[in-house]
Amino acid sequence: MAGRSARDLARRSFVPSIALVAAVLPLAPSLAPVCVVITLFLGVMSGEMSFQSFRCLTWKGPLLWMVVFYLWHLVGLEWTTNLDFAALDLGIKLPLLVFPLLGAAGVRSAHRGPAIRAFIVANILSVGIALGLASYHSLDYVLHVRPDEICSGYTASVPFFASNFSWALHPSYMALYLTMALVLVMNRSSLSGSSNGRWQVVVLALGVVLCASKAGWTALAGVGVVELYKALHDPGRRRRALGVLVLATVSACALYTGSSLVQERVAQVVGLLGPSSDVPVQANSTSDRQQVWSAAMEVIAAQPWLGVGTGDVKDALMAKYDELDYEDPLQKRLNAHDQYLNTAVALGVPAALCLLALILVPLWSARRHGDHAMVALLMLCGFNWSVESMLEVQAGVLFLSFFAWLLTDKRSALT
């Protein structure tokens, strides 16, 4: 009797625990691993685990590719020398193995709703908290400016942008989370025919803009274009999409005109895309990426098939930065800032191709089955990985692992 009661309690708690994981991702990322462990425990205790459910691990979905990618890192221990860093890296990437195993619990569509709603609400709340904190710091500056200082609009606006705005996560990751939440809101609104999500779209889009992530801005523009394309044959949806695009365009123009920080970020991209110059430029995230990408390519060219080993990737990059006299990346101890390059440095080009397959193969299958949420997840990850090594940190690994598991439909995986 006691065992049955415990199983019933675990079964009732399982779905709320999934929603809790979704909520803490943007609001309290340090608590996410604990919540994942609780969810895994409840999944086992609920009695829903079944070896037959492992059939959802097929090459058509991302879960199997995640397992292969993680096991590849275990094999890479054979030729690594820095075992301490390797252990840290394997710990960070452990969700790539845990969530496919949790997939054996067989998440049904009914389980997705609470988690998706929790993720959307948590991201909106995250933007609200960020705006509140930024307003407080800006007002504090205005009220307590020193007599020998000039109260400038630029300084007062700094709390509203980039890392000063993104209070819980790195700006690139906050922008990624907000964009995914935005896609889920727009997808849910289009399915229900409701316009109640319009204000949610505005809040989430505003948050992406204020994160001042160039990748986030690009992804946001891409979401707007895709939504407009999908709305071509739906007048009501077309009006909503046009309204969002017009609002985003007006907001972007206003921010560019009124914020020196936004002008600086745009100028960095223009300078990167423009003709090369012998005039030295001040180090920034864009120029740093040019250097780390160049260094990573040289390391890959030296060891293209096996890489330097699971734990030696950071050491190899630091040595190359020092050799090339790249002072800023060396001082900041930057990774390759490109997940494909970072993986190729560690485990060789074949491992990077495995990572690319993790995106492209499930993307083809999801597109074929009309799974718009999975398509959005894979496209956002695939794009952001080209400018950030997101699988080297917990926020990136958990985002992919959790949503790949949550959105995997066993029935579509088997067809």
Q: Which two tokens stand for residue 158?
A: 């700094």
Taking all residues of the chain, what is their mean pLDDT, rounded to a whole number?
A: 86
pLDDT 10s digits, 31-53: 999 999 998 888 778 766 555 55
- Assess if residue 305 is contained within a domain: no
- Assess if residue 14 is contained within a domain: yes
Conformational region of residue 390, where left means phi above 0, alpha means psi within -120 to 50, and beta covers everything else: alpha
- Assess if residue 40 is contained within a domain: yes
Q: How far apart are CA 152 and CA 156, in angstroms?
A: 6
pLDDT at residue 411 greater than cutoff 50:
no
Q: What is the pLDDT of residue 191?
A: 46
- Assess if residue 17 is contained within a domain: yes
How many CB atoms are located within 10 Å of the residue 316 CB?
Answer: 22
- Assess if residue 354 is contained within a domain: no
- Assess if residue 117 is contained within a domain: no
Q: Could you tell me the residue range of the domain that residue 33 belongs to?
A: 1-48
Q: How far apart are CA 310 and CA 69, in angstroms?
A: 12
The structure tokens 């319009």 sit at 198
| 343-363: average pLDDT | 98
**Residue from 133, 81, 228, 173 nearest 400 by CA:** 173
Q: What is the pLDDT of residue 258?
A: 67
- Assess if residue 32 is contained within a domain: yes
The one-character DSSP state at 414 is T
| 339-358: average pLDDT | 98
The one-character DSSP state at 213 is -
Q: What is the pLDDT of residue 276?
A: 46
Q: Which two tokens stand for residue 195?
A: 């316009």
pLDDT 10s digits, 190-246: 544 455 677 898 899 999 989 989 899 999 989 888 887 877 767 666 666 666 667
Amino acid at 129: I
pLDDT at residue 271 greater than cutoff 90:
no
The structure tokens 């800023």 sit at 328
Q: Which two tokens stand for residue 230?
A: 């999908």
Q: Which two tokens stand for residue 144?
A: 């307590």
**Contact status, residue 299 vs residue 308, Cβ threshold 8 Å:** yes
- Assess if residue 260 is contained within a domain: no
**Contact status, residue 43 vs residue 49, Cβ threshold 8 Å:** yes
Count of structural domains, the chain: 1
| 254-277: average pLDDT | 63
Amino acid at 376: A
